[in-house]
Every structure is written in C-alpha cells, then in structure tokens.
Amino acid sequence: MNTVVTSKEEILETSRELIRTQGWSAVSIRSVAAACGVSVGSIYNYFDSKADLVGATVESVWCEIFHRPEDADVFQDTQACIVWIYERMEYGCRQYPGFFNLHSLGFMREEKADGKRRMQQTWQHILNGLCAVLKRDEKVRPDAFNGQFTAEKFADVLFSLMLSALLRQDYDPAAVLEIVRRTLY
C-alpha cells in the first residue's frame, strides 16, 4: 500500500495513474482509495461524489497534457505553437490511451455536465491561447485579419482542425501548418 494521501493532488495523481495503467473505467472512489492506501471516507474528504472525482481527474489529465511549456517562445510563433499542441496531443494519447475519444464522447452526454463543462473550459483556454499567439506573431501579415476574418475566427478554425485530428489520432501538423502559411504569411 502507498503512504497515506494528504492532498487532493495526490489523489488526482493516483487517479491519473489508474487511467494510465488500467483505463478510464478503473477510476472509482473505492479503487482510488485502495490505490492510495486510505479509507473511502478519506477520498470523500476531498470529493463529494464519484462524478466530482472523475471530473477533477479529467481536468487534471487535460492540465497535465497541455501544461505550460518550458520554452515560452512557443507562444510567440503560431507555427511553433501548433507543433507544440500536436506534440502534446500525441503525448496525451500515449500516456492515456483512448482518453480523448472516451472522454470527449462520454462527457457529451447530459448526465456528465460537470465533466463536459471542465472539458469545454480547457478547450476554451487552449483556443484563447492560440488566438493570443496569432495576435502577437510578428510573422503574420499586417493585413491578414480584418473585421470579417478575425484572429478569433481563424483560431476557431485551426482549433476545430486540431480537434478533428485528435479524434483521428493524426499527430502530423503539416496540413494545419500549410493552412497557416498560405493564409497568414
């Protein structure tokens, strides 16, 4: 048995490890408590329900996958940012096999409202970051965006292409990079 869990983050780390090693269905209050070496009640000190634990675990997986990179220059250049996002998608698929498909499809159902909200929050954060990169990228032509074709709309298109690639498990950013080159530079 592990040492006694003393924090919410330790519980989430254990939950992520269960997903990595046993799959999504392995996460429950009882299985996490057993893996942590604590009582079920100890988990309930941090999470009100299985849905709360699962939602928080999903959010922590997304945060691990898309954590801020060591190289801040990634957020200065649109192409570097896109390559980084694709690399992180591939990392997420390797670390959490089936997570993107199961999670995305599972949380689109009504009864998983909190998980869906957390997923959409993470997606919005990534989308906002991509939009900010587009606006500060010095290589983007000054006339690339206008009142009808905004950085926000283009970021939304790019993000949609990335989500589609994610579901197809296609981690080659070449097509998206070509769209960026032809449209912005």
Task: Using the predicted structure, report yes or no on whether residue 153 has a pLDDT greater than 60.
Answer: yes
> CATH fold of 8-59, please?
Arc Repressor Mutant, subunit A (1.10.10)
Average confidence (pLDDT) over 109-116:
58
Taking CA 115 as the corner, what is the angle to CA 39 and CA 78, rounded to the nearest 5 degrees? Answer: 125
What pLDDT score does 1 carry? Answer: 46
Task: Using the predicted structure, report yes or no on whether residue 105 has a pLDDT greater than 80.
Answer: no
Task: Using the predicted structure, report yes or no on whether residue 136 has a pLDDT greater than 90.
Answer: yes
Structural domain boundaries of the chain? 8-59, 66-184
- SS3 of residue 107 by DSSP: coil
Q: For the CA atoms of 41, 46, 47, 53, what is the dihedral angle to 10 degrees?
A: -110
pLDDT digits (tens, 9 = 90+) for 1-14: 445 656 899 999 99
Contact 126, 166 (CB under 8 A): no
What pLDDT score does 111 carry? Answer: 45
What pLDDT score does 120 carry? Answer: 78
Per-position b or e across 97-114, b if 16+ CB within 10 A of its CB: eebbeebeebbeeeebeb
What pLDDT score does 8 carry? Answer: 94
Task: Using the predicted structure, report yes or no on whether residue 80 has a pLDDT greater than 80.
Answer: yes
Tokens 């591939």, residue? 90
* pTM exceeds 0.75 for this model: yes
Those residues whose C-beta lies under 8 Å from the C-beta of residue 102, and which sit 6 or more positions away, are 24
- DSSP annotation string for 29-40: HHHHHHHHTS-H
What mean pLDDT is reported for the chain? 87
pLDDT digits (tens, 9 = 90+) for 93-102: 999 887 777 6
